[in-house]
A = this chain, B = another copy of it.
Amino acid sequence: MKVVRAEIIAIGDELLYGQIMDTNSHWISQELDLRGVKVVRKTTVGDDRKDILAAFSAAESRADLVLITGGLGPTQDDLTKPLMAEYFDCPIEENPEAVEAVTEFFKKRGREITPLNILQGHLPACCTYVPNEVGTAPGMWFEQHDTYWMSMPGVPHEMKKLMQDFVLPKLPVLFELPIIVHRMIKTVGIGESWLADLIRDWENALPKNIRLAYLPSLGHVKLRLTGFGTNKAEITEAIAQQISLVLPTINEYVYGYDTETLETAIAKLLTTKKKTVALAESCTGGYISHLMTSIPGSSSYFQGSVVPYHNQFKSEIIGVKETTLEKFGAVSEETVKEMATGVRSLFRSDIGLASSGIAGPDGGTESKPVGTIWIACAMGDQVETKKLQLTQDRLLNIQLTAVAVLNLLRICFSKI
């Protein structure tokens, strides 16, 4: 089976100057890799005619599929469209469908369309117009010079939609792709090297056609199992078998598989057990509430939250005793317990979660340095608490605490 080669070209001065980080190429390469397409080159060029044309030419000699992001805006420094027309020697013409789509896009938002935007509906005659439902610049698909080309806007969410709706579904139609099956085991609450130690024997015994990759991120470690072969059902079964072999060793850390996130896993737990939750967030400032409410349908288990950013509001709004605050301080086990039970009463929820700590970079003392954070989960008669000692980085501390709170909730559920 011939290997299908792809090249990714990102266009934009702002990428070369380092003003913007290119996350698009990274995302695209992950999606291609999942489907058995081999990315052979990633290239970043500026808004320069000679450089862009040279990049097109070089890509064509190396790849079967060329994915291009950027340079499609309505202003003078957006060169992708005219240069692709020049490169394929075809004229730019009004595309009625595209013009209508751009006009509609503006109408829906109650805005007048500008002449520059109407021009976004004018496309190279030799391309296939690919509608962009979440932006003004259309995608353009070309089959030229024995190569497939897709031009997309540089705005990440627009690029992703075009990839998901148009490009990725096309791949198995255009190419004969190897069978690759991925499964992801999602763990939380254990570091990468400890996890590796736990599962070393199992990892060393994996069959040749199944590979393991560790993908650590904030407070999580994903274990990705990748199987190769010619029969999808067989590979799928083989991977499932390997998962059942390793699960007993790591079960307490596993919160889900594949696309499950900690938030969706929590959402499932709350829905299945018909429990509701309320949050009192001090140092995390609303971040955990945001994570939970990012899930559609969260109103069925999320009652609400309070961010009592000063001590008097911990007392006035969620009922933490003033004597507790005076005696132990805001960042203490006693206070965070009362925050959890108090917010549970306020919102009449089944569960109360709370965080209180010193996110930094200032505010630390010798006994309570930056990164000292207490969290609590009030469920039934119990209140589980945990003390975290994190980093010097404010944002990191907020994010790590959020993971710890959701994990604490998960652990609480496993005990009832």
Residues in A lying within 8 Å of B, measured CB to CB: 13-23, 25-33, 38-48, 51, 55, 58, 73-77, 108-111, 114, 116-117, 134, 136, 155, 157, 182, 191-194, 196-197, 203, 212-217, 224, 279, 281, 284-290, 292-294, 296-299, 302-310, 313, 317, 346-347, 360-362, 389, 391, 393-396, 398
A325 to chain B, nearest CB (A): 15
Nearest-CB residue, chain B, relative to A347 = B313
Q: Give Cα distance in the complex from A28 to B309, angstroms.
A: 36
Nearest-CB residue, chain B, relative to A21 = B26
Q: A75-B192, A313-B347 are in contact. Are A18 and B30 (CB under 8 A)?
A: yes
22 contacts between A and B (CB under 8 A): A15-B42, A16-B29, A18-B32, A19-B215, A39-B46, A40-B45, A41-B44, A42-B42, A42-B43, A114-B194, A114-B197, A116-B193, A116-B196, A134-B393, A155-B217, A285-B290, A287-B290, A290-B290, A290-B398, A293-B398, A304-B307, A305-B307
Q: Does B44 contact A16, Cβ atoms closer than 8 Å? A: no
A81 to chain B, nearest CB (A): 15
Q: Give Cα distance in the complex from A28 to B17, angstroms.
A: 9
Q: Give Cα distance in the complex from A302 to B307, angstroms.
A: 10
**Interchain CB contact (< 8 A) of A396 among B157, B285, B398:** B157
Return chain B residues, CB-CB under 8 Å to A45.
40-41
A374 to chain B, nearest CB (A): 15
**Interchain CB contact (< 8 A) of A224 among B14, B22, B29, B212:** B14
Nearest-CB residue, chain B, relative to A16 = B39
> Quick one: which of A108, A109, A136, A290 has the most chain B CB within 10 A?
A290
**Interchain CB contact (< 8 A) of A41 among B18, B51, B182, B307:** B51
Q: Give Cα distance in the complex from A191 to B74, angstroms.
A: 11
What are the 9 closest A-B residue pairs judged by CB atoms, nearest first?
A285-B293, A286-B289, A286-B286, A18-B30, A18-B29, A42-B44, A287-B290, A286-B290, A304-B309
A39-B46, A299-B310 given; name 6 further pairs at CB < 8 Å: A114-B194, A116-B197, A296-B394, A299-B309, A302-B309, A305-B306
Q: Does A17 contact B41, Cβ atoms closer than 8 Å? A: no
Q: Does A303 contact B313, Cβ atoms closer than 8 Å? A: yes
Q: Does A39 contact B26, Cβ atoms closer than 8 Å? A: no
Q: Does B310 contact A304, Cβ atoms closer than 8 Å? A: yes
Q: Does B157 contact A77, Cβ atoms closer than 8 Å? A: no
Return chain B residues, CB-CB under 8 Å to A55.
41
Q: Give Cα distance in the complex from A116 to B193, angstroms.
A: 7
Q: Give Cα distance in the complex from A217 to B21, angstroms.
A: 12
Q: A41-B45, A43-B42, A303-B310 are in contact. Are A285 and B294 (CB under 8 A)?
A: yes
Q: Give Cα distance in the complex from A33 to B22, angstroms.
A: 16
Q: Does B46 contact A43, Cβ atoms closer than 8 Å? A: no
Return chain B residues, CB-CB under 8 Å to A41.
16, 43-45, 51, 55
Q: Give Cα distance in the complex from A21 to B25, angstroms.
A: 9
Return chain B residues, CB-CB under 8 Å to A73.
192, 214, 216
Return chain B residues, CB-CB under 8 Å to A44.
25, 41-43
Nearest-CB residue, chain B, relative to A305 = B307
**Interchain CB contact (< 8 A) of A17 among B30, B75, B287:** B30
**Interchain CB contact (< 8 A) of A296 among B286, B298, B302, B360:** B360
A65 to chain B, nearest CB (A): 14
A7 to chain B, nearest CB (A): 10
Q: Does B304 contact A308, Cβ atoms closer than 8 Å? A: yes
> Quick one: which of A281, A288, A305, A346 has the most chain B CB within 10 A?
A305
